[in-house]
Amino acid sequence: FFEVARTMSRPERTGAPEQFYSTAEAKKYAANKRMNEVQMHMAERAVDLLQLPAGKPALILDAGCGSGVGGQVVASYGHFMIGLDISQAMLEVAESTDAGDVLKGDMGQGFRFRGGSFDGAISISALQWLLLPDDAQREAE
């Protein structure tokens, strides 16, 4: 398994997410049934781990919301989502799902929300982008 994982394509190794996720790539990502299924299961688990009170709608931040699958899951639990993503093309896909409100922003630069604004936060398949140097660091090397 690990050998296969090492040889698989890793988009985060190709450059910055806002450059990788073009309109065409965002549409391809959103149309990938297997990708959506995996994202949905991961988002369900992430929401479960928040241990939110039953029957009380919560406001959830989805950091790196991408195509909005996490927002669809959050909405299915009766909660509300604000998604943040660096890729305008991915945000356009997310907006078409009507699963929550989305904002363009770079999670690597921090958030400008007041403490306590959200009842919880999730991030599905986005944190790996933070492990690589940003464009400024790449150019300096």
In whole angstroms, how large is the CA radius of gyration of the chain? 15
Average pLDDT over residues 32-51: 94
pLDDT at residue 132, as a whole number: 64
The secondary structure element, H or E, covering residue 83 is strand 80-85
DSSP string for residues in 1-32: -HHHHHHS--GGGTS-HHHHS-HHHHHHHHH-
Q: Which residue has the tokens 């299915």?
A: 76
56 burial level (CB within 10 Å; 0-12, 13-18, 19+): exposed
- Count CB-CB contacts under 10 A for residue 88: 13
pLDDT (tens digit, 9 = 90+) per residue, 54-97? 899 999 999 999 889 999 999 999 999 999 998 898 899 999 88
Q: Is the confidence at residue 6, as pLDDT, over 50? A: no
SS3 116: coil
Report whether 121 contacts 61 (CB < 8 A): yes
> For all residues of the chain together, what is the average pLDDT?
82
